Structure 1
Amino acid sequence: MTPAYIHIHDHIKKEIEDGKWQIGQRLPSERDLSETFQVSRMTLRQAITLLVEEGILERRVGSGTYVAGRRVQERMRGTTSFTEIVKSQGKYPSSKLISYQKKLASKTERDQLQLTAKDYVISMERVRYADQLPLVYEVASIPEKLIASFNQTEITEHFFQTLTQNGYTIGKSQQTIYAKTASDKVAGHLDVAKGHAILALTQVSYFSDGTPFEYVRSQYVGDRFEFYLENN
């Protein structure tokens, strides 16, 4: 016998596929849905949780459960800016700057960016959005000597474009991806619950001559973003 929560899962999924619920639309509360389906809230929550895990629905802290949009995808090949990725999928990219400061490079930053103990970096902390939905919390480190002649807006709003307009040629990147859960701080910035599934990525980007120019630590909301590999 099929469990009740599976029947509810299938029913809601079909309603979404049939267009009763549109992308971005908020569903009724779990209390109201449990009354509609005449089941306990625990049973209803099982169905909703399964739909969230499948990426069909998404929970927003303090707001409710919504029909999820198509996940933003990044092809794991070459070096591409977040802005370009989001625009290529018909969405509007934006960012919120949390902090921007000049500081001496840490040991990790020196190793990743080939700097000395006397070198400074610009450390930039921000949240990136697609259609006003937070996708990623990131901290980027950039050699200060590289961008000393640029203003803050050129760096925070369209860094890759600024580089190419000033004669730099962007080359490869090295990326490492792993799974983790959202801390209190990151969860708050990304509008998810503490412990939510996160895709963590570290990336070092290089110019075509092999010089590293950016070291980024990113945390993506697992059910709003996905990476895929493409081989030649």
Structure 2
Amino acid sequence: MPIESQSFLGTARKGPLGSRPFDLKPCLVYRCENYLPLPTQATSPSGWIPSGELRRERVCRWPPRRPATPARTFRAPSCQVRQSLMEDFSSGVYQVGDRLPNEQEMCDRFGVSRVTVREAYRALTDDGYLSRRHGTGTFVARVPNRHSLDLNLSYTAMIQDAGYTPSVKVVQQSQEVADEDTRELLQLDEGDKVLLLERVRYADDRPVVYSIDRVPLKIIPTSHVGEVGPSLFEFLENIRRGARNGRAKLLPVLATARESQYLSVPEGVPLLFFDEVDYDMSGQPVVASREWHTSNVFEMWINRRAQVG
């Protein structure tokens, strides 16, 4: 029975209402129907049991809970300090060899404790951006390398430019029949095969890029199928199908269990995702790539021009 017009004040004998008076109208307003009065023919004119006998419909709290608010993303103070210093390195506030302010000055700047500043310094030191000299201070060891997104660069070369030794771990290399999405991207016919390369790229011993590349098998000479080296771009140049331009979609994503495993980062860490197709000089697609990038070795920049007119 709906309680649209009934307003009944009674006293509950038991339950979450205790012995406090309760008004039935809030039940309707909040659509909380866990306790409904039993109608009766022998009691008050209103048709409701004055003693407040109740029937349990479903378990919930009283008063009804408000709708949950979305959880806010929390960033540890040390992560905020680290990010601010990384921005300083990228913008040229600090150059390689510069001495950073002492811990107390950093505490005053960011409004944090010395422990927080030390955690941020330790993380930047572990990443190779800072070096600590006992009795002298903390110095900038390197700054993030910037690479423009309008240039199609080999990741092997990018890692070398950043001062690291590049290496590649092959997770999987196989020949597979192209699925519908791959056929569309690479302009293949049904039944055509691709060379699938699933790899992790390292800067020294640190994983920085996890990628899945698909190359049309028909463009690779049979004698070269097993000769893909660390650089896929160099391999394409060697078979005279070098990439001359590409089209990429960039998305910020959170690391899943798979990316967490291969990039050695916690699940949920932000990554930069590339969904890209590269074309040779004749405009034919030669490789479709899906890549997940960390941001602790080099930075990606986009050059923008003002619109004229």
Which residue, 154, 167, 174 being the options, matches 2:240?
167
Which residue, 66, 70, 73 being the options, matches 2:126?
66
- Equivalent position of 2:39 in the other structure: none
Which residue, 273, 279, 283 being the options, matches 1:206?
279
Give the TM-score normalised by the residue count of structure 2.
0.54
Question: RMSD value over aligned CA atoms?
Answer: 3.3
Which residue, 177, 181, 190 being the options, matches 2:250?
177
Percent identity over the alignment? 23
Structure-2 change in CA distance of 1:67 and 1:211 (3 Å): closer
Which residue, 224, 232, 238 being the options, matches 1:150?
224
Runs of 5+ consecutive residues of structure 1 not aligned to the other structure: 21-36, 38-42, 59-64
CA distance, structure 1, for counterparts of residue 242 and residue 126 of structure 2: 41
Residue 162 of structure 2 corresponds to residue 96 of structure 1: no
Residue 201 of structure 2 corresponds to residue 141 of structure 1: no
CA distance, structure 2, for counterparts of residue 137 and residue 95 of structure 1: 10
Give the TM-score normalised by the residue count of structure 1.
0.70
Structure-2 change in CA distance of 1:126 and 1:48 (3 Å): farther
Contact 2:200 2:211 in 1 (8 A): yes
CA distance, structure 2, for counterparts of residue 106 and residue 187 of structure 1: 26
- Equivalent position of 1:228 in the other structure: 301
The aligned length equals 192
CA drift of 1:135 comes to 0.5
Query: After superposition, what is the alpha-carbon deviation per residue over 1:41-84, rounded to whole angstroms, capped at 9, x for unaligned?
Result: xx7886578x49xxx836xxxxxx82443445432123221112
Within-5 A mapping of 1:21-100: 51=120, 57=123, 66-69=126-129, 70-100=143-173
For 1:139, give the aligned amino acid. I
CA drift of 1:169 comes to 4.2
Query: After superposition, what is the alpha-carbon deviation per residue over 1:125-178, rounded to whole angstroms, capped at 9, x for unaligned?
Result: 1100112211011101110111233142x3242322232233334311101111
Larger radius of gyration: 2
Query: After superposition, what is the alpha-carbon deviation per residue over 1:14-63, rounded to whole angstroms, capped at 9, x for unaligned?
Result: 9x96389xxxxxxxxxxxxxxxx9xxxxx7886578x49xxx836xxxxx
For 2:180, give the aligned amino acid. K
Which residue, 173, 178, 183 being the options, matches 1:105?
178
Contact 1:72 1:86 in 2 (8 A): no
Between structures 1 and 2, the one with greater helix share: 1
- Equivalent position of 1:18 in the other structure: 99
- Equivalent position of 1:25 in the other structure: none
CA distance, structure 2, for counterparts of residue 185 and residue 44 of structure 1: 36
Between structures 1 and 2, the one with greater strand share: 1
Runs of 5+ consecutive residues of structure 2 not aligned to the other structure: 1-76, 86-93, 102-106, 108-112, 130-142
Structure-2 change in CA distance of 1:108 and 1:57 (3 Å): same
Match of 1:126, SS?
strand
CA distance, structure 2, for counterparts of residue 76 and residue 207 of structure 1: 18
CA distance, structure 1, for counterparts of residue 237 and residue 127 of structure 2: 38
